[in-house]
């Protein structure tokens, strides 16, 4: 399917080049000017602001617009071109072209607006990346939904996409997890033991411990925490994957940070940084103030290994290897991204919470210090998400307490249980990632017309309903004459043809939420049409009914495509 705004832009550029060649316009470099649908009726379907050229062409914008309109090459999708002050070039789409697109949409099916922007290119999306120390929380969920939608959109743009999950099972967290499970297990065996406050308090460890006790009795009693760490880790991953699968999310590859230690890759990276002159040994960083130095002295720090990230714009240098010889999190993170780049991804999207902002910056500095181009790496930062409820007494929203009490929830599982996988996905996606998200629990739970999830799905359901009914009545759209379609149906087709541009915008700006808003807008165009444009109705002549049936077939294809792009289901019935 063609992206008409791009086609038109090219035609206009051709016309401009012609005008320059003929000497009607002075020599100038034609800029890329976005062609977009105007907001108001009567201004056509696509609009090009000719004013952008006035200064370059040193000519009145209205004159330029008229010149372009008069010499624009012919195209099958254009009905007419109008010029409007102060210099807009407005394009009206041809009705017959739009009607033909109904069959084109059906032909393309699930590949409707499958673009070739990324053809032959590899993209990676790294997302979730939660360490296996507990369940998927509401914050991870937003990360997961945004990351997966980004991956789907990249696929729609033609990229070959890999979904990756980066995790660390070697840190102190995991040791504590293992020890926590060991304690819970011993408690299950009846031992009266204190459970330290800084251990994992979650009830899930008690459950696992109970299962272990039931399955193995006291056979594991003599095992060390290492054994319990392994068990806990395996169980956590099972749980995480099951939770994600419940909202139709999965990863192609799990990348263990530990492998970077085993391969000694981190030390190779450190040596390369050192060779490039970006590493030094010191008890404090080179730019430390007197106060900082005194503080370090008071703590008695021995010299550590520093990366001079300030040379790349950082506000302070960062420790790579602590004075005790252990690397910080940053060094393997740099090595990991180095590895990513070497794997040859043209785009490497990284979905992170804003609490990783500084970390992500340092990684980019590290990449540059290795004389590599961090260009392919793009980070989508996800702002905080919290579950809220409307408090009638206070007249404002309040955060749902993150306690384990019944009715409160802070995990994906509980969220899905309270609402639905589709509702979770839609609401987590339908926000700009860099705005804080208040997840209104009651509203999402409500399965009513105030919930846009069902508004969109219902559009697909309605299409499916027509076909069920038509089949029962033995009616079909064979031998259809699409010229019988009316203005209402064309309005939908016009809107649907914007999908390609939406996908492109979402991909090039790394803003997957755009697809969610588009889906809502398209449903808002659809429902009034469905209300008026009936198919199986006594007053509708058979040939018109055939055309309309074909139209709803196309509409169903479009909604199916949209729902899948958002990772949502396309139910046949509500």
Q: Is 188 in the site for RNA (CB under 7 A)?
A: no
Please state the closest distance from residue 532 (CB atom) to RNA, in A: 7
Tokens of 164: 């990756």
- Stretch 216-255 residues interacting with RNA (CB under 7 A): none
Please pick, from the candidates 49, 134, 512, 556, the single residue that binds RNA as defined by CB under 7 A: 49
Query: CB-based contacts of 495: which residues, under 8 Å, 6+ apart?
Result: 521, 522, 525
Please pick, from the candidates 177, 249, 466, 568, the single residue that binds RNA as defined by CB under 7 A: 466
Q: Is 514 in the site for RNA (CB under 7 A)?
A: yes
* CA gap 421, 247 in Å, rounded: 5
Task: State the alpha helices, DSSP H only, in 122-196.
Answer: 138-156, 172-188
Please pick, from the candidates 238, 276, 417, 436, the single residue that binds RNA as defined by CB under 7 A: 436
- Stretch 381-410 residues interacting with RNA (CB under 7 A): 381, 383-384, 397
CA angle 523, 527, 529 (to 5 degrees): 120
* CA gap 153, 380 in Å, rounded: 14
Helix (H, G, I), strand (E, B) or coil at 440: strand
Q: Is 303 in the site for RNA (CB under 7 A)?
A: yes
Sheet order of strands, 396-399 included: 396-399, 385-391, 437-440
Write out 314-331 in H/E/C secondary structure: CCCCEEEECCCCCECCHH
* Between 217 and 287, CB nearer to RNA: 287
* Between 194 and 324, CB nearer to RNA: 324
Please pick, from the candidates 238, 403, 417, 432, the single residue that binds RNA as defined by CB under 7 A: 432
- Stretch 155-174 residues interacting with RNA (CB under 7 A): 168, 171-173
Q: Are 409 and 139 in contact (CB under 8 A)?
A: no
- Contact code string over 257-296 relative to RNA, x by CB under 7 A: --------------------------xx-----------x
* Between 192 and 478, CB nearer to RNA: 478
Helix (H, G, I), strand (E, B) or coil at 521: helix
Please state the closest distance from residue 386 (CB atom) to RNA, in A: 9
Q: Is 309 in the site for RNA (CB under 7 A)?
A: no
Tokens of 82: 């109008």
For residue 196, give Cα distances in angstroms to 58, 184, 193, 199, 508: 76, 11, 9, 6, 49
Phi and psi at residue 18, to the nearest 5°: -60, -45
Q: Is 517 in the site for RNA (CB under 7 A)?
A: yes
* CA gap 141, 387 in Å, rounded: 12
* Between 124 and 305, CB nearer to RNA: 305
Pairing of strands 437-440, 385-391: parallel
Q: Is 458 in the site for RNA (CB under 7 A)?
A: yes
Please pick, from the candidates 159, 204, 455, 551, the single residue that binds RNA as defined by CB under 7 A: 455
301: DSSP letter = P
- Stretch 354-373 residues interacting with RNA (CB under 7 A): 354-359
* Between 173 and 187, CB nearer to RNA: 173
Q: Is 533 in the site for RNA (CB under 7 A)?
A: yes
**Burial level of 394, CB count in 10 A (0-12/13-18/19+)?**
exposed
Q: Is 16 in the site for RNA (CB under 7 A)?
A: no
* Between 119 and 175, CB nearer to RNA: 175
Tokens of 348: 């490497």
* Between 78 and 186, CB nearer to RNA: 78
Please state the closest distance from residue 464 (CB atom) to RNA, in A: 9
Q: Is 546 in the site for RNA (CB under 7 A)?
A: no
Residue whose tokens read 């259809």? 480
* CA gap 249, 243 in Å, rounded: 9
- Stretch 108-137 residues interacting with RNA (CB under 7 A): 131
Q: Is 38 in the site for RNA (CB under 7 A)?
A: yes
Of 371, 362, 360, residue with least CA distance to 275: 371
Question: How many residues sit close enough to RNA to count as binding (CB under 7 A)?
Answer: 95
Please state the closest distance from residue 230 (CB atom) to RNA, in A: 17
Q: How far does the chain reach from its first CA to its final CA, in angstroms?
A: 30
* CA gap 500, 498 in Å, rounded: 6
- Contact code string over 320-349 relative to RNA, x by CB under 7 A: --xxx-x-xx--------------------
- Stretch 75-104 residues interacting with RNA (CB under 7 A): 84, 86, 88, 90
* Between 102 and 209, CB nearer to RNA: 102
Please state the closest distance from residue 306 (CB atom) to RNA, in A: 8
User: Taking contact as CB under 7 A, which single stretch among the options 14-22, 237-245, 264-272, 451-459 is the one that binds RNA?
Assistant: 451-459
Please state the closest distance from residue 354 (CB atom) to RNA, in A: 4
């Amino acid at each position: 399917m063609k992206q008409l705004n791009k086609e038109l832009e090219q035609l206009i550029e051709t016309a401009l080049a012609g005008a320059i060649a003929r000497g009607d316009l002075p020599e100038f470099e034609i800029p890329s000017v976005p062609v977009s649908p105007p907001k108001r009726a009567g201004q056509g379907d696509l609009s090009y602001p000719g004013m952008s050229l006035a200064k370059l062409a040193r000519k009145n914008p209205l004159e330029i617009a008229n010149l372009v309109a008069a010499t624009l090459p012919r195209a099958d999708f254009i009905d007419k071109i109008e010029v409007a002050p102060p210099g807009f070039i407005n394009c009206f789409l041809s009705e017959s072209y739009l009607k033909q697109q109904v069959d084109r949409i059906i032909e393309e099916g699930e590949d409707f607006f499958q673009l070739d922007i990324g053809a032959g290119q590899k993209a990676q999306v790294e997302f979730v990346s939660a360490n296996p120390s507990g369940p998927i929380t509401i914050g991870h969920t937003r990360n997961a939904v945004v990351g997966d939608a980004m991956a789907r959109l990249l696929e729609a743009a033609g990229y070959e996409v890999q979904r990756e999950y980066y995790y660390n099972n070697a840190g102190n967290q995991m040791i504590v997890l293992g020890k926590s499970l060991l304690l819970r297990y011993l408690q299950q065996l009846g031992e009266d033991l204190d459970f330290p406050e800084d251990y994992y308090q979650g009830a899930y460890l008690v459950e696992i411990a109970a299962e272990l006790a039931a399955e193995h009795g006291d056979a594991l009693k003599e095992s060390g925490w290492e054994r319990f760490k392994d068990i806990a880790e395996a169980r956590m991953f099972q749980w995480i994957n099951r939770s994600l699968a419940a909202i139709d999310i999965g990863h192609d590859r799990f990348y263990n940070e530990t492998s970077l230690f085993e391969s000694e890759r981190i030390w190779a990276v450190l040596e390369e940084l050192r060779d490039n002159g970006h590493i030094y040994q010191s008890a404090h960083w080179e730019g430390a103030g007197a106060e900082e130095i005194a503080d370090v002295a008071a703590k008695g720090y021995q010299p550590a290994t520093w990366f001079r990230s300030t040379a790349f714009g950082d506000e302070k240098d960062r420790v790579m290897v602590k004075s005790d010889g252990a690397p910080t999190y940053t060094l393997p993170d740099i090595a990991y991204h180095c590895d990513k780049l070497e794997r040859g991804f043209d785009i490497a999207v990284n979905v992170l919470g804003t609490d990783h902002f500084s970390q992500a910056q340092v990684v980019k500095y590290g990449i540059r210090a290795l004389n590599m181009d961090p260009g392919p790496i793009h980070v989508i930062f996800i702002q905080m998400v919290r579950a809220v409820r409307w408090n009638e007494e206070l007249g404002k929203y309040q955060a749902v307490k993150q306690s384990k009490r019944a009715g409160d929830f802070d995990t994906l599982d509980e969220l899905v249980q309270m609402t639905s996988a589709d509702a979770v996905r839609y609401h987590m996606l339908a926000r700009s990632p860099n705005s804080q998200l208040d997840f209104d629990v009651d509203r999402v739970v409500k399965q009513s017309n105030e919930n846009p999830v069902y508004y969109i799905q219902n559009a697909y359901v309605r299409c499916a309903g027509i076909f069920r009914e038509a089949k029962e009545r033995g009616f079909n759209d064979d031998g259809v004459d699409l010229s019988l379609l009316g203005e209402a149906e064309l309005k939908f087709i016009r809107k649907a043809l914007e999908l390609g541009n939406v996908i492109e915008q979402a991909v090039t700006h790394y803003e997957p939420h755009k697809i969610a808003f588009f889906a809502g807008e398209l449903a808002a165009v659809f429902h009034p049409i469905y209300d008026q444009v009936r198919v199986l109705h006594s007053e509708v002549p058979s040939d018109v009914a055939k055309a309309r049936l074909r139209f709803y077939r196309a509409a169903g294809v479009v909604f199916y495509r949209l729902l899948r792009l958002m990772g949502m289901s396309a139910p046949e019935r509500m």
